[in-house]
Amino acid sequence: MYYCSNYPLAVALCVVTMLCWGSWGNTQKLAGKTWRYELFYWDYVIGLVLFSLLAGFTVGSLGGGAWSFAENLRYSAASQWTWPFLGGIVFNASNILLSAAIAVAGMSVAFPVGVGLALVGGTVANWFVDGKGDPRLIWTGLAVIVASIVCNALAFKARQSSAGGASDASSVKKGLWLAICAGLLMSWFSPLVNRVVDMDFANAAPAAGRMTPYSAFFIFTLGVFASNFVFNTIMMKKPVAGEPVKGSDWFKGSLPVHLVGILGGAIWATGTLLSFVTAGTAGAAIAYSLGQGATLVSALWGILVWREFKGAPKKSAVLNFAMIVLFIAGLALIVKAGN
């Protein structure tokens, strides 16, 4: 089983996590040109499960022994599976809300508000799990990041105010509330999974009943997949925008459209697995918070590539610039907390 034991490399892999978490939303934007996000989300979840299996039977099985993927699934206590499975359910509820927020408000708003809140809550929760990192630097970094989130929300408000229109105001309110609910829920999926992951990889075998990052991640994706039949079915029948969607519509999609959704799931899964693999070295709180720097990455995608602030007043540009500077400063403090 591959794991990372070097702190600088762990930080570098956390940056890859950040890029993955901040970029998967582009696949939804691409598919969204012809494909409802509710249908896209089925492909996204399939991508998660397939990637977890691929990673488990390849890098998760290197060297064999008790740390290998199949062996750990066989000998870890089934009762421990409850936590990563529950983490998958919590994540899925939050991510469906985030996808809805992207559809309503765009990436440059849904991610900074939703994922930004998840960064703060998840980092605090993970720090109480393993206690790694200087708490003064972590809390200061989080405070700076909260300030950056406020800047982004104000920039979005300024853009919408300049556009005018009652329908725009309603859309703003709906998108922001969806993102806030998503962020509050998303704070908890990582601590639930890390609760059962054995991060002391120097031992000959995981502690009794404990799981490797690869086996826990696989159970996590099963929780996402199972809960999707409940959560996404509700969203299809009661969509936040547009007409209800039928399950049979999924079979009308072309292969390239389905592959885009699966790719989106694989991209997010890559980042998440790296977050779990590096948590033992970087610390669960630091690995998670660095990965949630995806907020900045996604905001840049939305602003620079998808032009979601095109035509916005100069005030929005100034606030978005402040958001970027503050977010980078907050992440730098969090990285320093682990040295």
**Model confidence pLDDT, tens digit, residues 169-192:** 677 678 888 988 999 999 889 899
What does the pLDDT read at residue 22?
A: 85
What does the pLDDT read at residue 163?
A: 67
Is 30 among the domain residues?
yes
- The dihedral region occupied by 311, where left means phi > 0, alpha psi between -120 and 50, and beta the remainder, is left
Average confidence (pLDDT) over 32-57: 94
Looking at the chain, the whole-number percentage of residues with pLDDT higher than 70 is 96
pLDDT band at residue 250 under the 50/70/90 scheme: very high
Average confidence (pLDDT) over 266-294: 88
pLDDT of 339 over the 70 cut: no
pLDDT of 13 over the 90 cut: yes
Higher pLDDT, 116 or 75: 75
What does the pLDDT read at residue 102?
A: 78
pLDDT band at residue 42 under the 50/70/90 scheme: very high
What does the pLDDT read at residue 172?
A: 65
Question: Of 4-18, 38-52, 143-157, 250-264, where does mean pLDDT reach its minimum?
Answer: 143-157
- For helices 116-130 and 135-163, what crossing angle results, to 10°? 170
Is 216 among the domain residues?
yes
Is 2 among the domain residues?
no
Cα angle for residues 181, 332, 192 (degrees, 5° grid)? 40
* Distance of alpha carbon 325 from alpha carbon 307, whole angstroms: 20
Average confidence (pLDDT) over 56-62: 96
What does the pLDDT read at residue 38?
A: 92
Average confidence (pLDDT) over 255-270: 96
What does the pLDDT read at residue 169?
A: 62
Total domain count, the chain:
1
Is 151 among the domain residues?
yes
Average confidence (pLDDT) over 264-287: 91
* Distance of alpha carbon 329 from alpha carbon 137, whole angstroms: 11
Average confidence (pLDDT) over 22-28: 89
- Let me know: does 240 contact 174? Beta carbons within 8 Å: yes
Residues in the chain: 339
Nearest to 214 by CA among 64, 321, 26, 58: 58
What does the pLDDT read at residue 89?
A: 97
Is 1 among the domain residues?
no
330: its two tokens: 């907050």
* Distance of alpha carbon 315 from alpha carbon 194, whole angstroms: 41
What does the pLDDT read at residue 326?
A: 92
pLDDT of 266 over the 90 cut: yes
What does the pLDDT read at residue 269?
A: 97
- Domain encompassing residue 310: 7-337
- Let me know: does 18 contact 335? Beta carbons within 8 Å: no
pLDDT of 165 over the 60 cut: no
Is 71 among the domain residues?
yes
Q: Residue 201 burial by CB count (10 A; 0-12/13-18/19+): exposed, middle or buried? A: middle
- Let me know: does 262 contact 47? Beta carbons within 8 Å: yes
